[in-house]
Structure 1
Amino acid sequence: MSQAILEGTRVISLCSGIAGSAAGLQLGEAGAEVVMVEPPDNPARKQPALFAVLNRGKRSVVLSLENTADRQQLQQLLASADVLLHDFTPAQAQAHGLADEQLAADFPRLVISAIGGWPQRHALANDIPHETLILARLGLLDEQPAHRSGPAFIRMPFANWLACWLCVIGVMARLLARQRDGKGGIAHTSLAQAALVPMTMHWNRAETPTAAFAKGLDKHIPIPLHRCADGHWLHVHYSPDKSPWMAAALSELGETEVARLNGLWPPSHVAPNFGANRAIIATRPAQEWVEHFWQHDVAAQIAAPFGDIYFDEQARVNGYVVEVDDVQLGKTLQPGAAWKVHPPARTGASAPLMGEGNAALLDALVEIQPTQSQDGPAPLPPLHGLKVLDLGAYLAGPFACMLLADLGAEVIKVEAPKGDAMRRLERIFSGTQRGKLGVALQLGDRQTGPAVEALARWADVVHHNMRLPAARKLKVDYDSLKALNPQLLYCHVSAYGASGPRADWPGFDQLMQAACGWEVEQGGEGQAPMWLRFGVGDFFAGLSSLYALLLGLYERNRTGVGQMVSSSLLGATLLSMSEAVMLEDGSLTPVAHMDANQTGLSDDHRMYQCSDAWLVVVALQEDEALRLRTLTDGQPDAYFSGLSRQVALDELARRRIPAQPVLEAQMDAFLDSPEHAAAGLHAHYGHEVYGDMQQIGAFWDFGDLPLSLHRPPPALGQHTRQVLESLGIAGSELDHLVSTGLAALS
């Protein structure tokens, strides 16, 4: 078997949360040796299914960081390591002897990634790093629609999963910079930055916005989740009107009745006959509809119960579900790797027994030898010099390429002369495009072939999320471009994965949420399913593709050989189900369900409505829960409803019960906040159409290495002439392409 990409890399993990533990899993499955350092009473082991998934393939060392001798052993472990992962606040890290400055002095080649609650330069950096508290404080619980008015609890820990991907991307970017510069350093991120990833679609401001930009996308737009005749719910993406059954039914209803049914609902941006579709879909069972839609290229999925996806053929054949014989749980089905590279991911064996690596690892340690830090060249962004050709559309592909630009790559976005399909949703489009040079060029035409070939020869990386049959038709598939550029790294994001019966089917974030059970869980017990508005599947897929791409780049630096790497919406969304595994008897390990009112998971972890506003309590420790019950006399709803929010928060703080206000309508407040600005969470630039533009800023802190956040999203065709002429396309040839509609200039 060929050497795994990160074989020979040692990772020390001091993580207790999902994000850091999952980051260790990703690095381990790329070949790294991951040593989890856990306390003697590790609370993570109280969630056996989640622990089994997140820690498979790792080695366990038990150390108490309160003990001087154990801290010294940790220092010796770090002397042997390439990467340190931890999820301590800055104050906790300082207390454990793990402050950035000290680590950099002691271990100059060490890559350090901390996943805090908030960025380390933020005023809230030392607050309790719990996702629900952070979502409440940012105002994101108010961004999710509910069955009732007001904010909604969010069942999926999406910020933790996004933070996992940000962490491993940051680590890989630092490892690549270490190859260039000869030294390590920090690659920090946070749950708050991860939570803001999907808000790039929504939280943008402009000095001179167009009407479409100013409108944005309202959270109350109806989502095409339709109840079928058998009571199951079906999520349909885009209009199903041309499918034979739907077309016949619409015709039978007639224009007057179709208009009446449509008038019962607000307009939908994805389905012009939303109301009529809803009435028609209610006449047949869900399975009949979904099979019919699939036969006619309509993207649809049944909103399945949590866990059903473990039996899905498409998930199994792509390795998104794997069999693991766990030492505690026995034979299980678990989420597998969400990405494909060569050499391939290696599914780890059982999660370790506590302390099973103490003897072998600690006995082999040697005394720490002082290392002299060497001054290197002037600091450059981690991916400075990387050349990226972005052929993607919608969200997953373009967002990944935007982050490559943030990390210092030069990114050229190619879109059709009529524009990316997402340009009509201007604010969403802008949130995935900053940092790029924009070229408007028609792919697949003989006359534009020389320009496309020049772009392919220029690029180190091609990235896109179009369906592969379309890529082959346009002659931008891997085989076509590899013939022009043999060292090319080609990264593809699919909907359902590269193999299996649905390999080339259309798919969208909403459908993966439906298939993986998250829409059922977000709806609340006994309620209709609900889409999690944050587009998490798109962002999971885009970020996991970026991790695969950086692994491929790391491998190419070693071998000189390019390759095709990939990820998918299905694989990346399925990984977020790691809190439950399928046991040998076919049963699913228990999961916590949200209440019917969509306020939370238990009295100790939920939102409460006070007399004037909402707050959220996260009393997950036994002593915190006891203090909450004592305070409220076991009647928390009655207690909080009789108090103003500020009075309630003051009393909760006095009793050391973790809580936060559930802030609402926060876009402007976020973009006006000096605290967020000081932490690097804002980005400003001038836009050709919108004037001064403000967006969400940095997703990482690399310390001495800068990010590149200075270039606004491109207007359509803004850089067509600049880019193509720099690649040798004559001005007269370009003018001809423009005159024939095969290229466009802004």
Structure 2
Amino acid sequence: MAQAFDGIKVIDFSQVLAAPFAATQLALLGADVIKIEPPGIGDQMRNRMLPSPLAEHDMASAFLAMNIGKRSLALDLKDPRGKEIAFKLIETADVVLHNFRGGVVDRLGLDYAAVKAVNPKIVYCAVTGFGGEGPKARDAAYDGAVQAASGMMANNGSIDSGPMRTGYFPVDMMTAISAAYAIAGALFRRERTGEGQYLDVAMLDAALTLQASGFGQYLVDGNMGGLFGNSSATKMPTADCFQTGDGAVLMSATQQNHVAGIFSEIGQPELIDDARFSSIAARIENRAELRALLSEAFKKDSAENWEVRLAAHGVPIAKVRSVAEASETPQLTHRGVLQKVPTPTGMDLDLTLVGSAFTADSDGPAASGPPPLLAEHSAEILTALGYDGSAVDALVADGVVGLVKA
């Protein structure tokens, strides 16, 4: 048997988060991903973006997380000889992926028309902040700015805090999954038609897909949402965050049976027939009173115990966990989304990273190799292209190609 993308070659010109993680998703399903990086400096995530003790080795933790199982070629794309090498790779590739800002890819001569001219069946995926065309096509974008531009911040936070961005990178990660999905679809289409395809993936569009239900409420009903803090757009007092005896839980009890289960578990089953709390409308009208009642009850036990007790009644509830706590939950251990990844060359590191968000009964996602050192595979890739040792040495001497540090 074979993984879905065995035999697929991806030339990954991207940096930072979104597009590199898209390529990693393909690598986890068997694709041979060649990561093209600037000689000497490499991907920004290696050492210049997020703090990490490994940044001094050009292997910062966020870089590791975005680049599982790739091969690294350090190549100066501004040099004609570097571009010639890139096109030799493209000639036999299946996918080209980049996240160059608008205009940059044209100056480098790596635009779709140029790439298609040497490989008509190529799947070409461009990941940008705002899309390849339109009034903001050439604007730079990072996750936080797109959260602001997409309306996401206007629905995150509380009245007291005002609009807030998230503490992680949802737009980047959704863009990554969108790009991987688009590439998979284009490869499947190519199997049927024999044709390549140009894919335009925008972070702004990905941010809207994350908010599809909220945008539906606005576009259909005129409901603009708002700042609900930890409560719910449903306005139900049983869908909120509550302090317990030793931490907090987030509960999304929106159905009548959920509420009946809560009342039963706190020892007051008769409340489901109380006129103040017997229906959704009644509970919303008496929100303050019900919240005070529940807050007092939740203080009498621990967050983990409330999670177990109310889950037994079918209530959607979870302890508010730290990243450290979440990574150690038995369910994640069972699922295997946190994957053991081979140790990068020359490093003494027991490496576990996030893989793919699904499992399969056979040939599912798996880390075939470690994240690469900068230029780790330059020599082997050039040798496979037909360059002999003296030619490689000349390219290295001229700064066109980088080799891994000794």
TM-score (norm 2): 0.82
Query: Aligned pair in 2 of structure 1 residues 613, 564: CA closer, same or farther (>3 Å)?
Result: same
Q: What is the CA–CA distance in structure 1 between the aligned matches of 2:72 and 2:237, rounded to whole Å?
A: 51
Task: Note the C-alpha offset of 1:411.
Answer: 0.8
Give the 5 Å matches for 1:384-423.
Answer: 384-417=6-39, 418-423=41-46
- Whichever residue aligns with residue 416 of structure 1, its letter is P
Q: Quote how far apart the aligned CAs of 1:462 are.
A: 0.3
Which runs of 5 or more residues in structure 2 are unaligned? 51-59, 272-289
Distance in 1 of aligned mates of 2:331 and 2:317: 20
Displacement of 1:488:
1.4
What is the identity, as a one-letter code, of the residue corresponding to 2:199?
V
Q: Which amino acid aligns with 1:683?
A: K
Q: Describe the shift of the 1:490–1:654 C-alpha distance in structure 2 as closer, same or farther (beyond 3 A).
A: closer
Amino acid in the other structure paired with 2:402? A
Partner Cα separation in structure 2 for residue 581 and residue 523 of structure 1: 18
Deviations 1:588-644 (A, max 9, x none): 23647523xx46554212221112222222212112124435637731122223444
Secondary structure at 2:163's aligned position in 1?
coil
The corresponding residue for 1:535 is: 169
Match of 1:703 in 2: 361
Identity of aligned residues (%): 29
| More displaced 10-residue stretch of structure 1: 562-571 or 580-589 | 580-589
Matches within 5 A, 1:350-389: 379-389=1-11
Q: Distance in 2 between matches of 1:387 and 1:683?
A: 24
> What residue is the counterpart of 1:474 in the other structure?
108
Residue identity matched to 2:344:
H
Q: Does the Cα contact within 8 Å between 1:435 and 1:708 map onto a contact in 2?
A: no
Q: Residue 25 of structure 2 contacts residue 356 of structure 2 at CA under 8 Å; is this kept in 1?
A: no
Matching residue of 1:742: 400
Q: 1:493 Cα shift?
A: 0.9
Q: Closer, same or farther in 2 for the Cα pair 1:656/1:698, shift >3 Å?
A: closer
Partner in structure 2 of residue 730 of structure 1 = 388
1:640 to 291, 298, 303: 298
Distance across 1 between alignment mates of 2:363 and 2:101: 36
Tell me, yes or no, if the aligned pair for 2:11 and 2:96 is still in contact at 8 Å.
yes
Question: What do the CA deviations read for 1:673-721 (whole angstroms, capped 9, x no partner)?
Answer: 6753443222231212433322223432221224341201000000010
CA contact (8 A) 1:396 1:541 kept: yes
- Pick one of 256, 278, 293 that aligns with 1:622: 256
CA contact (8 A) 1:397 1:463 kept: yes
For the pair 1:683 / 2:340, whether they are aligned, the reply is yes
Deviation at 1:423, TM superposition (A): 1.0
Quote the offset at 1:461 in angstroms.
0.8
The alpha-carbon distance between structure 1 residues 661 and 556, as it changes in their structure 2 partners (threshold 3 A), is same
Show the 5 A alignment for 1:498-577.
498-577=132-211
SS at match of 1:393: coil
Q: For 1:641 and 1:451, how far apart are their aligned partners in 2?
A: 65
Query: Where does residue 155 of structure 1 map in the other structure?
Result: none
Give the residue type in structure 2 aligned to 1:685.
P
**In the aligned structure 2, how far is the partner of 1:414 from the partner of 1:434?**
14
Shift of 1:648: 4.1
Q: 1:190-214, CA deviations, whole angstroms, 9 ceiling, x for partnerless residues?
A: xxxxxxxxxxxxxxxxxxxxxxxxx
Distance 1:423 1:551 in 2: 30
Partner SS state of residue 73, structure 2: strand
- Which residue type is aligned with residue 688 of structure 1? T
Match of 2:120 in 1: 486
Which letter maps to 2:37?
A: E
Which segment is superposed worse, 683-692 or 563-572? 683-692
Asked if 1:718 corresponds to 2:376, the answer is: yes
Q: Which letter maps to 2:242? A: Y
Is 1:660–2:321 an aligned residue pair? Answer: no
Matched, 1:438 2:59: no
Residue pair 2:122, 2:196 contacting (<8 A) in 1 also: yes
**Structure 1: distance between partners of 2:70 and 2:112:** 22
1:545–1:527 Cα change, 3 Å: same
Give deviations 1:307-334, integer Å, cap 9, x for gaps.
xxxxxxxxxxxxxxxxxxxxxxxxxxxx
Offset at 1:476?
Answer: 1.4
Matches within 5 A, 1:41-440: 379-417=1-39, 418-424=41-47, 425=50, 426-440=60-74
Instruction: Tell me if structure 2 keeps the 8 A contact 1:610–1:640.
Output: yes
- For 1:260-280, what per-residue CA distance to the aligned partner results, in whole angstroms no more than 9, with x for missing partners? xxxxxxxxxxxxxxxxxxxxx
Count of residues in Structure 1 that have an aligned counterpart in Structure 2: 364
How far apart are residue 585 of structure 1 and its match? 9.7
Is contact 2:67–2:371 with CA below 8 Å preserved after alignment? yes
Preserved CA contact (<8 Å) 2:155 2:226: no
Name the residue aligned to 1:459.
93
* Partner-residue secondary structure (3-state), 1:666: helix
Residues 1:693 and 2:316 aligned together: no
* Aligned residues of 1:579 and 1:591 also touching (Cα < 8 A): no
Q: Quick check: 1:411–1:437 contact (8 Å CA) kept in 2?
A: yes
Give the distance between the partners of 2:345 and 2:142, measured in 1 at CA: 31
Shift of 1:732: 1.6
- Structure 2: how far apart are the matches of 1:517 and 1:739? 50
Alpha-carbon distance, 1:569 to partner: 0.5
Q: CA deviation at 1:645?
A: 3.3
Q: Describe the SS at the equivalent of 2:83.
A: helix
Conservation of the 8 A alpha-carbon contact between 1:460 and 1:489: yes
Structure 1 residues 528 and 409: alpha-carbon distance in aligned structure 2, compared to 1, 3 A threshold: same
Q: Deviations over 1:20-73 (max 9, x none)?
A: xxxxxxxxxxxxxxxxxxxxxxxxxxxxxxxxxxxxxxxxxxxxxxxxxxxxxx
Contact 1:381 1:708 in 2 (8 A): no
For 2:219 and 2:64, the matched residues in 1 are separated by 48
SS at match of 1:399: helix
How many angstroms apart in 2 are the aligned matches of 1:551 and 1:653?
A: 38
| Distance in structure 2 (CA, Å) of the matches to 1:703 and 1:627 | 36
How far apart, CA to CA, are the structure 2 residues paired with 1:585 and 1:541? 23
Contact 2:7–2:31 (CA<8 Å) still a contact in 1?
Answer: yes
Inter-CA distance 689–518: structure 2 relative to 1 (3 Å threshold): farther
2:261–2:310: 8 Å Cα contact kept in structure 1? no
Residue identity in the other structure for 1:638: E
Shift of the 646–577 alpha-carbon distance from structure 1 to 2, 3 Å rule, reads closer
Question: How far, CA to CA, are the matches of 1:646 and 1:541 in structure 2?
Answer: 34
**Alpha-carbon offset, residue 433 of structure 1:** 0.3
Change (3 A) 1:648 1:679: closer
2:284 is matched with none
User: CA shift at 1:392, angstroms?
Assistant: 0.6
- 1:191 counterpart residue number: none
Q: Alignment RMSD, CA only? A: 2.6
Asked if structure 1 preserves the Cα contact closer than 8 Å seen for 2:112 and 2:198, the reply is yes
Structure 1: gaps of 5 or more residues: 1-378
Which of 222, 229, 236 does residue 588 from structure 1 map onto? 222
Deviations 1:289-324, CA, capped at 9 Å, x for gaps = xxxxxxxxxxxxxxxxxxxxxxxxxxxxxxxxxxxx
* AA matched with 1:679: R
Using a 3 Å threshold, how does the CA distance of structure 1 residues 654 and 478 change in structure 2: closer, same or farther? closer
